Amino acid sequence: MEIIPAIDMIDAKCVRLTLGDFNQKKVYNEDPLEVAKEFEDNGIKRLHLVDLDGAKSGKIVNYKTLEKIASKTKLIIDFGGGLNSNEDLQIAFNSGAEMVTGGSIAVKNREVFTRWLSEFGAERIILGADVRNNKIAIKGWLEEADVTIDELITSYQPNGISKVICTDISKDGAMKGPSFELYERLQQQFPQQKFIASGGVTVLNDVIKLKEMNMHGVIIGKAIYEQTIKIKDLVDL
């Protein structure tokens, strides 16, 4: 299982939101590069980098920070937030992202997202499925789309989608454990998909249980910053 620490950015700072609420923001570090280097120094290989300013505004904003982390670490970065055009995608890849996560665009512009899958392949284009009450949320979770997670995944299966980052918004940043039931149901319904759990991971046992469930990966944010999970324990799994 891939262990993927997360850095969420607002104003080029490392932050975490609670339940996706921009009004419940906590700044953990003024310099995301410093955080990324600490991950790398502890043996981490992957990074989930989210441009919350981009998600809110609808276009990539914090690409300079992506560029800095990509050029000064060897972390394999997947980048999300504000990717709503071909130009945004090129900026992300040119700035050093190995993969991108498309959430809003997968809902609002199926034609473009399908073209990305065809052109760059399912290993580089990840479907971001952010869920609130089984409905997909978009634009930095500020809007709810009229589509369920099941419908979204089903719609992209003919296009060869492989990796799906599934975030239960009701769990994200709440430090009350992940949505195990949701992931179990999705795995049973879509056994061919590579699901990456996101939201609610609080203690090491949460990660162990997700590994036992054969999840493809797990994204961990607040638990690392609040030190309820130690990075070295993650690397040892």
Known catalytic residue at 206: no
The CATH number assigned to the domain with range 2-235 reads: 3.20.20.70
DSSP assignments along the chain, one per residue: -EEEEEEEEETTEEEEEETTEEEEEEEEES-HHHHHHHHHHTT--EEEEEEHHHHHHTS---HHHHHHHHHH---EEEEESS--SHHHHHHHHHTT-SEEEESHHHHH-HHHHHHHHHHH-TTTEEEEEEEETTEEEETTTTEEEEEEHHHHHHHHGGGT--EEEEEETTTTTT-S---HHHHHHHHHH-TTSEEEEES---SHHHHHHHHHTT-SEEEE-HHHHTTSS-HHHHHT-
Q: What is the pLDDT of residues 104-121, one digit of tens each?
A: 899 999 999 999 999 999
**For residues 71-92, average pLDDT:** 96
Domain boundaries, the chain: 2-235
pLDDT of 45 strictly over 70: yes
Percent of the chain whose pLDDT exceeds 70? 95
pLDDT reported for residue 20: 61
Tell me the pLDDT of the chain averaged across its residues.
Answer: 93
Greater pLDDT, 169 or 100: 100
pLDDT reported for residue 25: 77
Do residues 200 and 177 lie in contact, with contact meaning Cβ atoms separated by under 8 Å? Answer: yes
Q: What is the pLDDT of residues 139-191, one digit of tens each?
A: 666 677 889 999 999 999 999 999 999 998 888 766 789 999 999 999 999 99
* Cα–Cα dist 14/83, whole Å: 19
Known catalytic residue at 8: yes
Of 51, 78, 130, 172, the catalytic one is 130
